[in-house]
Structure 1
């Protein structure tokens, strides 16, 4: 019985550590305009407007296998940005939709 409890505790510790490390490993990019960004954005996000993403992404994140999560106001522009990055060879790009839904889904605060 002690071995079962110890094993369960060990597994929970491993999964908890992985869950805690996950936010640090993900790259979150807000593709809205600068004025939208200044009005509030997801904590930990970086800003690259959709109109600039093709020119700036390789300097910002040269690793084309990195997990990149994109959002905007509604999910439309982040969908376009996802297509651009995939066309450039990025393999792990996710459109996480609009800022409000992304904030709720990933439990990330919106900050100003």
Structure 2
């Protein structure tokens, strides 16, 4: 399974009314400036807040940040914790805003 999701693919799914589980790993201030309705768990807080994601361990989880770098780290961390379907938004919110 492709571990990345493109901004176009995500926009298309949201436009179709899908409600994927999205985690924004940017800092709180970045999230306040603009967000796409995701759950905000900054990358540094992820280890302490894993229990918030436990119910989604085998569900698709889409992670994103500003450019895709922090969310790639978040994806790797979640996979190490046993999450089976974590996808990174390529290019992050900057590409999504395109």
TM class by smaller structure:
0.7 to 0.9
Task: Give 2:27's match in structure 1, choosing from 28, 33, 53.
Answer: 33
Larger RCO, structure (CA 8 Å, separation 6 or more): 2
Where structure 2 has 5 or more consecutive residues not aligned to the other structure, the ranges are: 1-14
Deviation per CA, 1:68-105, whole angstroms, max 9, x where unpaired?
A: 0001011000000000000000000001131032356x
Count of aligned pairs: 83
- TM-score normalised by structure 2 residue count: 0.74
Distance 1:61 1:99 in 2: 25
Higher helix share: 1
RMSD: 1.8
- TM-score normalised by structure 1 residue count: 0.66
Where structure 1 has 5 or more consecutive residues not aligned to the other structure, the ranges are: 1-18, 105-112
Matches for 1:71-110 after TM superposition, within 5 Å:
71-97=64-90, 98-103=92-97
